[in-house]
Homo-oligomer: A and B are copies of this chain.
Amino acid sequence: MTAANVPSQPDPARQGEPTIEDVAAAAGVSIRTVSRVLNKSPKVNAQTRERIEAAIAALRFRPSLRARALAMRRSFLIGLIHNDRNALVLDSIQRGIVSVTAAQGYELIVHSTPPEGAEAIADAVAFASRSRVDGLIVLPPISGVDGLAAALDAVQVPAVAVSSVPLDGFAGVISSDERAAGAQVARHLLGLGHRAIGLINGPADMASARERRAGFLAEIAQAPGVTLAETPGDYTFAAGIAGAQALLAAPAPPTAIFAANDIMAAAVLKVAAARGLAVPAQLSVVGFDGSLLAQMVTPALTSVVRPFGAIAAAATRHLIARIEGGTPPPLFHPELTLAPAESTGPAPR
């Protein structure tokens, strides 16, 4: 109470951060006026504003987002829900999100859910509801779980899903045509003259894997005299190794292998090397994702590039627009393009 309107250094004896009240006292105004300054309300006298801003700077006051959240019923927190394990993909997405949230004054809170469907829903809802995030970005595979959209809707949290296919229930889904991309891969390999082709699938319960496969197979089916061998996989390196070994151990092994993601494609390269097969001279390999890994392996993988950063940024912008009541920008449906690199070439002989 002493020196009420003399901006001063923070009282060293005081525990914790300065509050709006300290600022008000230091500037000799009411907390409401300080609040106006914080919220850039125009109805504050210029001199008063200056005095308050000086006090804020002197006290190093930073408003508590938490108190503000309680009062405004807005947390300025965006939640990211995922239950995948692909490090590179998750990282690209996270960076894409942060590039937008940081610019718009939000923070990102990352939550990973258990893998199983029902549990995952319960966990996601509990998270959304307890942490009172303003909005949610949901990644595959959990974005594809039946009932998730409805469950999130029930707790009134705006959510944007990223998915390979349009999803029922979600108002905002950023999807891409992975089926067309699968077809692109097939055309690329057929165009190079390959007639014995192998496919290492992703997990059958993921829409992305099913779509890639469907597009790929449909295109292959159109080409006469092409033999196709496929093996199951689950997007892991180990599955890629097993799949490649199975395909290449056949009596008439394929001259080209499409692996449903880059990680498994990298595994194919490893198996090929172990068997003394030159890539691409004797075996062509295609991956999917266009992740950093595709460029780091030798030879660099021909892969379908998915613009994760742009996808994530678009999802975030859409979400924030919804949160803030503006008209959300139209949903983004990125084109997936095949980027030919060193791992594919003309079919041998």
A104 at the interface (CB under 8 A from B): no
Nearest residue (CB) in B for A267 is B296
Segment of A89-97, A158-166, A320-328 engaged in the interface with chain B: A89-97
Chain B residues in 8 Å Cβ range of A91: 87-88, 90-91
Are B94 and A110 neighbours in the complex by a CB distance under 8 Å? yes
Chain B residues in 8 Å Cβ range of A16: 73, 156
Are B70 and A67 neighbours in the complex by a CB distance under 8 Å? yes
Chain B residues in 8 Å Cβ range of A193: none
Are B296 and A298 neighbours in the complex by a CB distance under 8 Å? no
Chain B residues in 8 Å Cβ range of A90: 91
CA distance A66 to B109 in the complex (A): 13
Number of copies: 2
Partner of A298 from B87, B131, B297 at Cβ < 8 Å: B297
Interface residue total, chain A, C-beta cutoff 8 A: 52
Q: Which parts of A252-308 form the interface with B (CB within 8 Å)?
A: 263, 266-267, 269-270, 273, 292-293, 295-300
Q: Which parts of A236-264 form the interface with B (CB within 8 Å)?
A: 237, 263
A329 at the interface (CB under 8 A from B): no
Interface SS majority for chain A: helix
Q: Given A98-B110, A109-B108: A132 and B87 within 8 A (CB)?
A: no
Q: List 25 A-B contacts (CB under 8 A).
A: A17-B155, A17-B156, A63-B130, A64-B130, A65-B131, A66-B66, A66-B70, A67-B70, A87-B88, A87-B92, A95-B112, A98-B110, A107-B111, A107-B131, A108-B111, A109-B109, A237-B292, A237-B295, A266-B296, A267-B296, A270-B298, A270-B300, A273-B299, A297-B298, A298-B298
List 6 extra interface pairs beyond A67-B70, A109-B110, CB under 8 A.
A16-B156, A66-B75, A98-B111, A107-B109, A273-B299, A293-B296
State the 10 A-B residue pairs at the shortest beta-carbon distance, nearest first: A87-B91, A62-B129, A266-B296, A270-B298, A273-B298, A109-B109, A62-B130, A66-B69, A65-B130, A66-B132
By a beta-carbon cutoff of 8 Å, the part of chain A in contact with chain B is 15-17, 62-67, 69-70, 73, 75, 77, 87-88, 90-92, 94-95, 98, 102, 107-112, 126-127, 129-132, 155-156, 237, 263, 266-267, 269-270, 273, 292-293, 295-300
